[in-house]
Structure 1
Amino acid sequence: MTAQEPSSLADPGHTEPEPESSALAWLPQKLGLQRFASWVPIRSLARRHRKRILTHLLSLNEGDRYLRFGYPASDEQISKYAMSLDFARDEVLGIFNRRLQLVAMAHLAYEPAPQRQGKPAMAEFGVSVLASARGRGFGARLFEHAALHARNRGIETLFIHALSENAPMLKIARSAGATVERDGSESEAWLRLPPDSVSSHVGEAIERHMAELDFQFKRHVRAFGDFIDGVAEVKSQYRDAGKAAKQ
């Protein structure tokens, strides 16, 4: 659960200020290149991924479980949580490494309980990242992706309930512009989302498609690797059998 930063957009080799129209034309292009350079494949998870989700959560140590759930969740409690995920209602997002291990995941719950009277439509965000995958900004990227997903579904506010000692999560929220309210050992963060737009829907669709391509590529590479390992193992067995026959 960690967070990552825009550098200056100025051209160091250009001393004269450019016309405003030229600068505005250049800005989206440069921002797009920056975003692509640090792009992380985030995939929507479904019921078929439930076992991977459970494996991921059970891999969290006691301290990480405490920060993620607000209490040191036991294996049984984590199993119950994983089995109760409603993929038809909520959005569950994941980041896979090249071995197809789920190293980071986020749960965007569209019906946080209890809904606050008089508050706008909101969704609650929770995230976990394996210790081996920390320091790469995965938590922040999952937060950005969840915010975009919620925005495109008419949600006005993204809500986070976290322990006050969960500094990485609160840092992600503050960096995104969320209002954080602390009440003793617990904190709440509220991020007001802008309305959806054509570009926000197109952006989400492109990222979803790219993440799916990335996952399928990793799957085929892994399958090919398993095949090569299998061939090598069969060759080794034949060699050993040949040596034994000669003795």
Structure 2
Amino acid sequence: MTESDKPATSATSASQPEAEASSRWSWVPIRSLGPRHRDRIAAHLLSLEETDRYLRFGYPATDAQISRYVDTLDFDQDEVFGIFNRRLELIAMAHLAHPSTPAEGARGTMAEFGVSVMRKARGRGFGARLFEHSVLHARNRGVQTLFIHALSENTAMLKIARNAGATVERDGSESDARLRLPPDTFVSHVEEMMGEQAAEFDYQLKRHASHVQQILDAISEVKAHISKSHHIAGE
């Protein structure tokens, strides 16, 4: 059906993609994580249900295995990114691993991507946003290929990779996706820098709000205790 067949609906049809694009590209604060965030990372991964752990790690990781994984995260060699909610709960995170080259022990030109999103935060595109952020970060550091190893049933992750233009090869229950990255540019570096600064500002605002809320809760608790004491004394 051509546009001339239904001229009355052309404006509506044109506005729908614009609305979807606006929703799809709304900004999400993604922050780089470091060693001091290990406890939050552990809490996030340990909160994943058994099925989600299976999709994230490729096996039904136990609490002990997740704890070992978190303890061995190398924040000097790799990058870990996270999305926090207003209560500073880590609701989504990505691990961008940089294997070293055998000869020099330096970072190679390939990086591996892994992501997890809490069930209550699904449907907001956080996995795709973390993937886009990781792609930008990787290309700005000379990475040429982004690699994803996932279970073939992890359709959400493989869809993100395919939508980005990755080549996906399936081998039984497992699939490998490879995305060739473009070289970095001045614009890509500025984009990453601005995104990191905005995410840091957002995090500090949330942190300040959390501290204020803790103070208010403490004051309310003291008032309730005083009120209760006066009531008992009056009896």
Pick one of 75, 95, 100 that aligns with 1:87: 75
Report matched runs for 1:178-189 at 5 Å. 178-189=166-177
How far off is 1:229 after superposition?
Answer: 1.0
Determine if contact 1:112/1:124 at 8 Å carries over to the other structure.
no
SS at match of 2:93: strand
* Distance in 2 of aligned mates of 1:69 and 1:37: 28
Amino acid across the alignment from 1:88: D
> What is the CA-CA distance between 1:200 and the residue it aligns to?
0.2
1:87-236 matches, within 5 Å, as: 87-111=75-99, 121-236=109-224
What is the aligned counterpart of 1:57 among 32, 45, 55? 45
The total of aligned residue pairs comes to 214
8 A Cα contact 2:91 2:117, kept in partner = yes
- For residues 200 and 24 of structure 2, the distance between their equivalents in structure 1, rounded to whole angstroms, comes to 16
Q: Is the 8 A contact 2:24 2:125 kept in 1?
A: no
Unpaired runs of 5+ residues, structure 1, are 1-11, 13-29, 115-119
- Residue range with higher mean Cα deviation, 33-42 or 74-83: 33-42
| Deviation digits for residues 136-161 of structure 1 (CA, Å, limit 9, x no counterpart) | 00000000000000000000000000
Identity of aligned residues (%): 63
* Contact residue 112 and residue 123 of structure 1 kept, 8 A: no
Q: Residues 19-71 of structure 1, C-alpha deviation per residue, up to 9 Å, x if partnerless?
A: xxxxxxxxxxx9xx959961000000000000100010000011000000000
SS of corresponding position for 2:205: helix
Tell me what 2:7 maps to. none
Deviation of 1:121 after TM superposition, in Å, equals 1.5
Per the alignment, in what secondary structure is the counterpart of residue 178 of structure 2? strand
Which runs of no fewer than 5 residues in structure 2 stay unpaired?
1-10, 12-17, 103-107
CA distance in 2 between partners of 1:158 and 1:37 (Å)? 22
The residue that corresponds to 1:117 in the other structure is none
**Distance across 1 between alignment mates of 2:116 and 2:61:** 13
When normalised by structure 2's length, the TM-score is 0.87
Partner residue in 1 for 2:226: 238
Tell me which moved more, 235-244 or 36-45.
36-45
Q: Which has the higher contact order (CA 8 A, sep 6+)?
A: 1
Deviations 1:186-238 (A, max 9, x none): 00000000000000000000000000000000000111111111111111111
Residue 100 of structure 1 aligns with an amino acid whose one-letter code is L
Task: Specify whether residues 75 and 109 from structure 1 end up closer, same or farther in structure 2 by C-alpha distance, changes over 3 A only.
Answer: same
Tell me how far apart the structure 2 counterparts of residues 96 and 157 of structure 1 sit (CA, whole Å): 28
Find the aligned partners of 2:168 and 2:24 in 1 and give their Cα distance: 30
TM-score by length of 1: 0.83
